[in-house]
Structure 1
């Protein structure tokens, strides 16, 4: 076990920048109507110290839990720092959760208070907050939250800053990160300050962050990757973090921040691609890219339009990246490094190496991370000093996810090639057997299916059917097109051709019998996707399994389901 330098623990990093770079801008927060508010390191520290003094004055026992329910913003980060400084443990909640899930997490974590921050659906979420739980609001909170709860600025204005600079030991619990729950209820993953510091040490050997870098924070800070890469990367390096204002302003937010390091989930990389194809058809784009001088200008123009013209390191993760998508971005001069990890290991497991063509894999392990494949199940197992302390208050579930010799069971299937690169082939539990007794791994087929420009998300299923079938959610443009008989017919023709081309690449038992398309959005609210855009397979089965036999016997390649 390697020891962590105390200087690299989260709070010590704040004190370091407070002392050595007080006037450097640390955070840039959009305030609406084009206005922004900058926070220097001195201001971040001052706000955090004042809020910490307020929290500590409540007299809760050391190690008490304090929750944050908000979209990403400067006050989210300062709340986290204040909670730690006061001697407490932070509990972030996704800003899109259903009220029942909010109740479950706040109750299970025994949270003593809640920061209610920047939210789009507060009216829907509010019933999930237990009666009597003390709450505080942010300057960008919904109006009724600002009226109901004392605001950040008021608390900071009336509270003297904490003069001491308390430190937290590497073995102390820093946070509970509740998993997004693709199966069952979310579990509270316990991570220490030392876990984060060790993971940053190894992560920075592959992702070269410096104080000169810029990142746009827009994926939920409640998710482990954003927490690690943005929040803790910021604390370690003093890079400049910008926040996104809204979905509608996202392009402008990217162009304002011009990130030098950018991470996104596959679904959003696909949406960027579809947006480009909407303005320039694929055939025309490919033709222009093939012309030496013009191709270079087109690449530069597209990267600038995306706000990624200054990006020197791009990454994807949280779900498999389709190989065709990686190749497409490679043509534009954007090399996407694919990462792999879990909440349980702080997302520090594998990542492809910059400058090397390792497409089709998630690369080698990070330094000092061990990997192996279970010879019986093909499951990927790993071990490192970033492994969680366990699931909060759930020792039985903790025991289930570790082997007797202390390796984390990822639940993913894979293989390791001669170069030590990891190939992920699917989920151990996602494999299903058709009625012909053949096993099908859905993930590689879904990677191909989602590449159609009309498809937003998809699932391949079919346990006990003669052949697998696909279920796909159309994106907004395709839904609008399907409103007319002519548009629907054109979509059907295009999707049929897509299925035919995919089936030509598959073994006979893997070929899709049909594709069912739905115009009803899969959302967090209707419980079909998680806050990180992963489709809940068990929920798909609940909604659609009763139709499988009829769909299989329909004789149609493309079917419509409202």
Structure 2
């Protein structure tokens, strides 16, 4: 690294102060605004604004270590606010911009937030219109740039009024830094407490194994309220000193990513699939196969596709949160992009397992990160002891004790197995097992992972107390639009799904074979509660909605059913 590493790398405040001193005029954050402006913020500017806001926070005389909430989409000022909260001796509590009103209210009350810092929200691609009327009474609000509220104190006005805080509050490495609430896929969200040490514990391993330096670039667009983005992007950039770019909105995403030309890119399976489908829309798979087979042309076409996606500078492409179909991973590999699957949890700040370049086994999430121990318990559950392990669940000591083994391993709730080289494969959730009327147990996730089709976005295998399981299928938005336009034929799709059921069933045990598939008529979204903010399915919500119809569907005796 050209300017040397921070002296104390266990504390993000020290990292920030290091880069402020070592390269004050280097650009750290690049933010596009809705009016077409694109603003670069140097390390000097970022820390100056954070210091000024920290001075304001201290003027409010909150008890040291108070919880301060941040609600909004990713932005340069989201990160400035996070830094300011730490500089003032407080604890940040991030909230997803897609939380429903009830959950947002619960988190704000449970965390006893003293203040809400409201960031980028628009009320159309987030849930602000629902949340705004359910905020705890009397909760003070401060608006960041791009906030929907202009009737409360504004960040930009505040930083003009307060001089920069010269002596930031010194924080112990083991001091509570943030409370990250889980996405609540199995009930009420739990507040996962992380200290400064646990937030940075996985960073040195990334640098050592991936060669991350201050010359790298990343695009921040997945929710900063989730540990994956918080660790891979925010913490990583503060630790390593590299430049961060932000996305403006979905419609400008391609331009935003081309502006960043990231060298490290982290995404989730649903988005890797969308990138793949977007390419297929412009160039059919059949045409790709022909062009990729022509030696001279092949390299040019592949480079052009990567450049068009904004991926031509990527050194490392990471995917996590859920499995990605093998054929999609192989497609990216043909383009020259090796997707590295990773695995982690909110409870270990995403620092658990990582696929290494050149050692990827498709379907596996890699081997333990440096300092991490992992094992499989007698019931098949993966247990992990990570250097990034949480301090515990906020105000839930009994739950914390329940999730830990006597010798300090975290019970992940995931079922797993290792191969001969120690690489981990996740085979489902322990609590997702359900029993058919024949008394046989079914693990839904492995079956869902086999059911891949370019027109599908999400699937859910279920069927407790039925003779055989069945699968619920949600079409992609593009597929729905094509059906409405008549460019996609329902009968053709029915035939393809019927064939896919046969193909999948051929790989399953008799008791696992799917009896039928149902194409659901409604979209499952974060807003209507069917998906978590990290785009995982909420099985309990889905089953409550659809299981009452299961017996009727079963009696139809049809393999592919379109919900009416």
Give the TM-score normalised by structure 2: 0.96
> C-alpha deviations, 1:482-527, integer Å up to 9, x for none?
3378732232222222222222332332221111112311111211
Name the CA distance, whole Å, in 1 between partners of 2:119 and 2:232.
21
Match in the other structure for 1:129: 135
Shift in Å at residue 5 of structure 1? 6.4
Structure-1 residue corresponding to 2:3: none
Paired with 1:33 and 1:135, the residues of 2 have a C-alpha distance of 24
1:7 is displaced (CA, Å) by: 4.3
Deviates more, 1:214-223 or 1:469-478: 469-478
Hey, what's the Cα distance between the residues in 2 that align with 1:278 and 1:434?
40
Deviations 1:173-231 (A, max 9, x none): 00000000001100000000011122222333334321111100000000001101111
The 2-side partners of 1:452 and 1:515 are apart by 13
Determine helix, strand or coil for the equivalent of 1:426: strand
Give yes or no for the alignment of 1:193 onto 2:196. yes
Aligned pair count reads: 554
Q: Which residue of 1 aligns with 2:263?
A: 260
2:426 aligned with 1:424: yes
Identify the residue that residue 328 of structure 1 maps to in structure 2. 331
Residues 291-310 of structure 1 mapped to structure 2, 5 A cutoff? 291-310=294-313
> Given the alignment, which residue of 43, 54, 57 partners 1:55?
57
1:217 is aligned to 220
| Of 116, 119, 133, the match for 1:117 | 119
Q: Is the 8 A contact 2:34 2:248 kept in 1?
A: yes
Given that residues 70 and 117 in structure 2 are in contact (C-alpha distance below 8 angstroms), is that contact kept between their aligned partners in structure 1? yes
CA contact (8 A) 2:202 2:369 kept: no
Q: Which residue of 2 aligns with 1:236?
A: 239
Counterpart residue number, 1:499: 501
CA distance in 1 between counterparts of 2:176 and 2:146 reads 29
In the alignment, the residues of structure 2 paired with residue 280 and residue 505 of structure 1 have an alpha-carbon distance, to the nearest angstrom, of 31
How far does the alpha carbon of each residue in 1:338-394 deviate from its partner, in whole angstroms, 9 at most, with x for none?
Answer: 00010000110001111223222111100110011102x110001022110000001
What's the CA shift string for 1:374-429, capped at 9, x where partnerless? 02x11000102211000000111111111122110000111122211112111111
In structure 2, what is the Cα distance between the partners aligned to 1:441 and 1:56? Answer: 51
Rounded Cα–Cα distance in structure 2 between residues aligned with 1:407 and 1:459: 30
- Return the alpha-carbon distance in structure 1 between the equivalents of residues 541 and 534 of structure 2: 16
1: CA distance, partners of 2:268 / 2:481: 25
Match of 2:359, SS state, is: coil
Supply the distance in 1 between the matched residues of 2:365 and 2:239 (Cα, whole angstroms): 25
Instruction: Quote how far apart the aligned CAs of 1:315 are.
Output: 0.6
Do the aligned residues in 2 keep the contact of 1:187 with 1:391 (CA within 8 Å)? yes
Q: Distance in 2 between matches of 1:312 and 1:202?
A: 17
Inter-partner Cα distance in structure 1 for 2:211 and 2:558: 51
CA contact (8 A) 2:207 2:213 kept: no
**Which residue of the partner structure matches residue 481 of structure 1?**
482
Distance 2:472 2:219 in 1: 33
Alignment equivalent of 2:283, drawn from 280, 289, 308? 280
| Counterpart position of 1:159 | 162
Alpha carbons of 1:249 and 1:345: their partners in 2 closer, same or farther (altered >3 Å)?
same
Q: Given that residues 15 and 165 in structure 1 are in contact (C-alpha distance below 8 angstroms), is that contact kept between their aligned partners in structure 2? A: no
Task: Tell me if the contact between 1:471 and 1:516 (Cα under 8 Å) persists in the aligned partners.
Answer: yes
Q: Please say which of residues 534-543 and 545-554 is displaced more in the overlay.
A: 545-554
- Residues in 2 aligned to 1:471 and 1:159: alpha-carbon distance in whole angstroms: 56
Q: Which residue of 1 aligns with 2:544?
A: 542
Q: Is the 8 A contact 1:474 1:517 kept in 2?
A: yes
Which residue pairs with 1:314 in the alignment? 317
Which of 433, 439, 442 is the aligned partner of 1:440? Answer: 442
On the 8 A contact 1:481/1:488 being kept in 2, the answer is no
Q: Secondary structure at the match of 2:367?
A: coil
Aligned to 1:75: 77
Q: Is the 8 A contact 2:416 2:427 kept in 1?
A: yes
Conserved 8 A contact 1:414-1:425: yes
Distance in 1 separating the partners of 2:114 and 2:252: 35
> In the TM superposition, what whole-angstrom CA distance separates every residue of 1:248-299 from its partner, at most 9, and x where no partner exists?
1111111111110000011111111111112222222122212222221221
Partner secondary structure for residue 223 of structure 2? coil
Whole-angstrom CA distance in 1 between matches of 2:121 and 2:560: 38
Q: What's the CA shift for 1:165?
A: 3.2
Contact 1:51 1:159 in 2 (8 A): yes
CA distance in 2, matches of 1:324, 1:428: 27
**How far 1:152 moved relative to its partner?**
0.8
- Taking structure 1 as the reference length, what is the TM-score of the superposition? 0.96
| 1:141 Cα deviation after fit | 1.2
Answer yes or no: is the 8 Å Cα contact 1:468–1:512 preserved in 2: yes
Q: Identify the match of residue 229 of structure 2 among 221, 226, 231.
A: 226
For residues 219-248 of structure 1, the C-alpha deviation after alignment (integer angstroms, 9 at most, x for no partner) is 000000110111111111111100000011
| Superposition map of 1:513-528 within 5 A | 513-528=515-530
When structure 1 is superposed on structure 2, of 359-368 and 177-186 the one drifting more is 359-368
Contact 2:202-2:370 within 8 A present in 1 as well: no
Summarize the alignment of residues 342-421 of structure 1 with structure 2, pairs less than 5 Å apart. Answer: 342-375=345-378, 377-421=379-423
Q: Give me the whole-angstrom Cα distance separating, in 2, the residues matched to 1:14 and 1:528.
A: 38
- RMSD of the TM alignment (CA)? 1.5
**Residues 101 and 128 in structure 1, CA contact (< 8 A), matched pair in contact too:** no
CA drift at 1:33: 4.1
Gaps of 5+ in 1: none
State the Cα distance separating 1:46 from its structure 2 match. 0.3
Q: Report the CA distance shift for 1:207/1:99 in structure 2 as closer, same or farther (over 3 A).
A: farther
SS of the residue aligned with 1:458? strand
**Match in the other structure for 1:204:** 207
